[in-house]
């Protein structure tokens, strides 16, 4: 993922979506705004459903030079021709996953609000570390990743950092100076006009 002064957009699929309609919605967003990476994050544990989704979205993403990573399912990365994996268990499986996928795969680790886990994930071979939720959310244990964590990370650690979870325009404006990427999903997919919703969040970066 390239590095620029302004945070880049890391798009996340909805956990559940209409397989007939979503590819067109995704294409519209990718055509309207620069997106650095796409994460397939389906809630289903049905391997065939995940594989079908990956095949459809890979075609759309790769046609626009956007890498496609999958959440958690390390075993499907090579089989489905994906670009990497987003791990949700902090640093625990980073080293093993890096060994399995090789040096070229994108490997990210979500570390909640734990600076310690983030540093361990980086040392174990992650390409980026994600912290969140940044906004108010009842999901998980409700612990938010505060601005101070991102500010410290951006000053002390070279590894790219991703801010995600319950983002708003106000939070994007606040966190833009201290993060490399905003991971955005439900924030725009719940809007009838997803490209416009993403445009408002991008504009909030200033």
> Residue 2 domain-assigned?
no
Give the model's pLDDT for residue 139.
Answer: 76
The per-residue pLDDT for range 38-62, each reduced to its tens digit, is 999 999 999 999 999 999 999 999 9
Phi/psi for 86 (5° steps) reads -110, 110
Q: Domain range holding 33? A: 8-203
Q: Which residues of the chain carry a pLDDT beneath 70?
A: 1-4
Token pair for residue 46? 């049905």
CATH number of the domain encompassing residue 68 = 3.20.20.70
Looking at residue 197, its pLDDT comes to: 98
Residues 84, 69: Cα–Cα separation, whole Å:
5
| 68 is a domain residue | yes
φ, ψ of residue 13 to 5 degrees: the values are -70, 160
pTM, whole model, 2 decimals? 0.96
Residue 124 falls within a domain, yes or no? yes
For position 138, what pLDDT does the model report? 83
Query: What's the pLDDT score for residue 116?
Result: 98
Beta bridge partners of 110: 130
126: in domain: yes
- Kindly state whether residue 1 falls inside one of the protein's structural domains: no
| Interval 3-40: pLDDT, tens | 458 999 999 999 999 999 999 999 999 999 999 999 99
Confidence (pLDDT) at 4: 53
Query: What are 60's two structure tokens?
Result: 């759309």
What's the pLDDT at 3?
42
Domain count, the chain: 1
Decide if 144 is inside a domain. Answer: yes
Q: Using alpha carbons, select from 164, 167, 183 the residue that is nearest to residue 69.
A: 183
Q: Answer whether residue 42 is part of any domain.
A: yes
Per-residue pLDDT, 49: 96
Q: Considering the domain boundaries, does residue 69 fall inside one?
A: yes
């Amino acid at each position: 993922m390239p590095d620029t002064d302004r945070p880049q957009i890391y798009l996340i699929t909805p956990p559940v979506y209409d397989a007939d309609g979503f590819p067109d919605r995704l294409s519209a967003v990718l055509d309207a705004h620069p997106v650095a990476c796409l994460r397939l994050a389906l809630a289903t544990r049905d391997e065939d459903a995940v594989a079908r989704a990956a095949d459809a979205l890979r075609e759309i993403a790769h046609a626009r030079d956007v890498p496609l990573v999958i959440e958690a399912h390390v075993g499907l990365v090579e089989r489905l021709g994906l670009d990497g994996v987003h791990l949700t268990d902090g640093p625990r499986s980073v080293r093993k996953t890096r060994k399995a996928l090789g040096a070229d795969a994108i490997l990210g680790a979500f570390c909640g609000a734990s600076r310690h886990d983030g540093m361990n994930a980086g040392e174990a071979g992650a390409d980026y570390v994600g912290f969140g939720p940044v906004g108010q959310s009842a999901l998980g244990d409700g612990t938010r990743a505060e601005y101070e964590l991102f500010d410290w990370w951006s000053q002390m650690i070279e590894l790219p950092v991703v801010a995600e979870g319950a983002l708003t325009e106000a939070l994007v404006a606040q966190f833009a100076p201290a993060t490399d990427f905003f991971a955005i999903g439900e924030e725009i997919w719940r809007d009838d006009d997803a490209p416009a919703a993403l445009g408002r969040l991008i504009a909030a970066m200033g």
